[in-house]
Amino acid sequence: MRLRVSTPSRAVTLTAALALTVTGCASLTTSATEVGGVRMGDDRPVRDGGTLTVAFKSDPDKLDPSLGSTLVGRSVFAAMCQKLYDTDAKNRIKPQLAAGMPKVSDGGRKVVIEVRRGARFSDGTRMDAEAVETSLKRHRDLPESARSSELEPVESIEAVGDDKVELRLKEPYEPLLGALADRSGMVMSPRALKKYGKDFATHPSCVGPFRFKQRVTGDRIVLEKDPNYYAASRVHLNRVVYRTIIDGNVRLANLRSGDSQISDQTAPLEVQSALTDDKLQLFNSPTLGYQGLTVNIGNTRGLGKKPGKKNSSLARDKRIRQAFELSLDRSLINKIVFQGMYDTACGPVAPSSELGTKTKCPGRDLGKARRLLRETGAKGRVPVELTISNTVEDMRLGQVVQAMAKDAGFQVKLRPTEFTTLLEHADKGDFEAVSVGWSGRLDPAGNIDAFAATLGSENRSGLSDKRIDSLIEDGRRTADPDERRDIYRDVTRAINDQHALIYLYRQRNYVVATKDVGGLRVYGDGLIRVENAGYVRGSSGSALGLPPVEQGGEVRGDSTEARSR
């Protein structure tokens, strides 16, 4: 069902190409392949032992909570790097490494967090308030930290005795708790930080049900049960192996062959195929995030640096960016690329968020798009280079964008790139437009501030707008939910008016697993939680879940993905 790509020598109309695509996919959806309602967990009793293999869509980036920025990396962290706070199936925040909810005083400027007692890092050292202080300061102050925007309002961090940490804020900061329920709240072993320094990512040590054992970049990450974990008696698996298998069909084949037991970020076509297999089960939850296109209008020096000016058609004139966005049909993209199994999006805050609002996205308007291009004096087709992940599904998205934009007067050239490399280029500003998204956070600030603030730690577009910056500050200091909802509605409009962040769709978290696996959790944040996972009692045969070979502390074998390369 590949969309034909327009070239100077082969003009293919969008209508014809999309008709072929839709016709080719229409018969795939039947009553047997309907997804059904939300399913976030499996409470069947499981037995102890075995190895669980999770197949990832892309390779995680650095296993350093201060530096990481990928969803797959967060899933690995969920197994080995706990946070001060966590979220549950109803998107409520609950204590994890904290002993209770924070105590706030002094008009919201003083926050005291009591630390869980009896926890130890994977290297055996004791976790205490000083370790929390060390980690939070690193998240905030490390020059390369992707967490710096989230903790920038924190003026001081100080351990008070062994079990309390006191934070002093420059002003009230409502998104703080949400940040501490994600990577900014992950606590790292001070001993490991001192010993390995910048190489902490290759020797990560945190508090969690599993500890780091081995990584082969581009292939696998191996974790083993951590005997130092404070709740080790409730952890059933011996090991968790994360394999990088880019092709969704190959991930699904690995499940059917027994080489893997879980497929992460399963694409709609593979979900429909899985639903016809009585040996597989589906987890399905709404996302808090978004996916779309980021246009580089000022990222000339890399993340965290003052934006400059980019010399490209999209960067030079906002009207050209607006015309590009108007050439795209979100609903048709969802239907063609994702079988109608995702949701359209035109803003950073999900409707499922407490402060989210339902917004009707603007439709495609080729007449206005062409008129805007004429106003700018653009001659011929406007060239655009779109960097995109090299997966089958993402390439299909790129081809649809390419065909749609052509009808408005753009000539889109696709630049397929491995996902981790794509992020490296995007962080450095080495792109014109890039297809990238965000897995989402509970508090809207977690979806906005780092990406749209002038000095945001994830501001890949180089966006710099005084009104956006001012609204972001208002959202941080305002406590009333209704007022915050209005602020984030206004900031969304202001961001959309710049057309540098083009929100297109929201994925649903589709995770496929073999039916002999129980105890999994997949919430709105999209993370695969394996702390209580294991093999269902009474399962047998291929359901034993052993890796191809376990020998000498390493995982070895000849997986389907390895053979297909």
The CATH number of whichever domain residue 118 belongs to comes to: 3.90.76.10
**Which of 45, 71, 177, 189 is closest to 125 using CA atoms?**
189
Q: Measured on CA atoms in the order 267, 268, 270, 271, is the torsion positive or negative? A: positive
Where does residue 300 rank: exposed (0-12), middle (13-18), buried (19+ CB within 10 A)? middle
Q: Scanning the structure block, which residue is given the tokens 């305002």?
A: 478
Residue 440 has pLDDT above 50, yes or no: yes
For tokens 């197994």, the residue is 79
Alpha helices in 104-258 (DSSP H): 129-141, 148-151, 176-180, 190-196, 248-257
**DSSP reduced 3-state for 320:** helix
| Residue of 149 and 123 predicted with greater confidence | 123
Q: Are residues 179 and 244 in the same domain?
A: no
75, 54 in Cβ contact below 8 A?
yes
State the average pLDDT over residues 135-156: 95
Q: How many CA atoms lie within 13 A of 165 on its CB side?
A: 29
For residues 419 and 413, give the distance between their C-alpha atoms in angstroms, rounded to a whole number. 18
Angstrom distance (rounded) from CA 123 to CA 211 = 9
Q: Which residues pair with 415 in a beta bridge?
A: 387
Q: Is residue 72 part of a domain?
A: no
The pLDDT assigned to 353 comes to 83
Last residue of a domain, one of 168, 202, 236: 202
The answer on pLDDT for 30 being more than 50 is no
Q: Of 162, 181, 202, which residue is a domain's last?
A: 202
Judgement on whether residues 534 and 477 belong to the same structural domain of the protein: no
Residues 272 and 292 in one domain: no
User: Which residues, in sequence order, are CB contacts of 484 under 8 Å at separation 6+?
Assistant: 174, 355, 444, 475, 478
Range of the domain at 251: 36-50+208-285+509-564
Confidence of residue 34 (pLDDT cuts 50, 70, 90): low
Task: Give me the mean pLDDT over the 557-565 stretch.
Answer: 32
pLDDT digits (tens, 9 = 90+) for 480-525: 999 999 999 999 999 999 999 999 999 999 999 999 999 999 998 8
Residue corresponding to tokens 């009896």: 118
Structural tokens at position 255: 């499940």
pLDDT of res. 33: 55
* Average pLDDT of span 411-440: 95
Residues 6 or more apart whose CB falls under 8 angstroms from that of 184 comprise 65, 136, 139, 147, 150, 151
String of b and e for 399-424 (b: at least 16 CB within 10 Å)? bbbbbbbbbbbbbbebbebbbbebbe
pLDDT in tens, 514-555: 999 999 999 988 899 999 999 999 875 344 444 433 333 333
Q: Are residues 300 and 175 in the same domain?
A: no
Question: What's the rounded mean pLDDT across residues 388-408?
Answer: 95
Residues 235 and 126 reside in one and the same domain: no
* CB-count exposure of residue 455 (10 Å: 0-12, 13-18, 19+): middle
Same domain, 299 and 376: yes
Tokens standing for 132?
């929390």
Beta-bridge mates of residue 414:
386
Residue 218, phi-psi category: left (phi > 0), alpha (psi -120 to 50), beta (remainder) = left
The pair of structure tokens assigned to 506 is 């929201």
pLDDT above 50 (res 19): no
**Per-residue pLDDT band at 351 (split at 50, 70, 90):** confident
Give yes or no: residues 353 and 442 share one domain.
Answer: yes
The pLDDT, as a whole number, for residue 415 is 98
More confident residue, 222 or 440: 222
Q: At what angle do helices 445-452 and 481-498 cross, to 10 degrees?
A: 40
* 16 lies in some domain: no
pLDDT tens profile 160-217? 999 999 999 999 999 999 999 999 999 999 999 999 999 999 999 999 999 999 999 9
Q: Which domain CATH number covers 553?
A: 3.40.190.10
In a domain, 365, yes or no: yes
The set of residues, in sequence order, having a beta carbon less than 8 Å from that of 51 and lying 6+ positions away, is: 237, 238, 239, 240, 241, 545, 546, 547, 550, 555
Q: Judge if 273 and 306 occupy the same domain.
A: no
Last residue of a domain, one of 176, 202, 228: 202
Task: Calculate the CA dihedral of residues 60, 452, 265, 34 and round it to 10 degrees.
Answer: 180
- In whole angstroms, how far apart are CA 154 and each of 139, 150, 217, 253, 271? 11, 9, 35, 48, 43
> What pLDDT score does 533 carry?
98
In a domain, 130, yes or no: yes
Three-state SS sequence of 90-109: CCCEEECCECCCCEEEHHHC
Q: Which of 417, 384, 418 is nearest to 401 (CA)?
A: 384
Are 178 and 233 found together in one domain?
no
Res. 360 pLDDT band, cuts 50 70 90: confident
The mean pLDDT value of the chain amounts to 89
Q: Which domain CATH number covers 309?
A: 3.10.105.10
C-alpha torsion 251→63→129→106, nearest 10: -80
pLDDT at residue 241, rounded to an integer: 98
The number of angstroms, rounded, from the C-alpha of 201 to the middle of its chain's C-alpha atoms is 19
Residue 65 lies in a domain: no
Query: Of the given ranges (13-17, 35-39, 54-58, 456-460), which has the lowest mean pLDDT?
Result: 13-17
Task: Write down the residue that tokens 């965000």 correspond to.
Answer: 438
- Please tell me whether the overall predicted TM-score, pTM, comes out greater than 0.85 for this model: no
Q: In the numeric block, which tokens belong to residue 276?
A: 């016809």
Answer yes or no: is 21 within a domain. no
pLDDT digits (tens, 9 = 90+) for 292-345: 999 999 999 999 899 999 999 999 999 999 999 999 999 999 999 999 999 999
The total domain count for the chain is: 3
User: What single letter denotes the amino acid at residue 23?
Assistant: T
458 and 361 inside one domain: yes
Q: What is the pLDDT of residue 180?
A: 97
Percent of the chain residues topping a pLDDT of 90: 81
Tell me: do 490 and 520 sit in the same domain. no
Q: 3-class SS at 262?
A: strand
The values of phi and psi at residue 48, to 5°, are: -85, 150
Residue 403 lies in a domain: yes
Q: Is the pLDDT of residue 355 over 80?
A: yes
Same domain as 233, residue 195: no
Closest residue by Cα to residue 405 from 510, 298, 504: 504
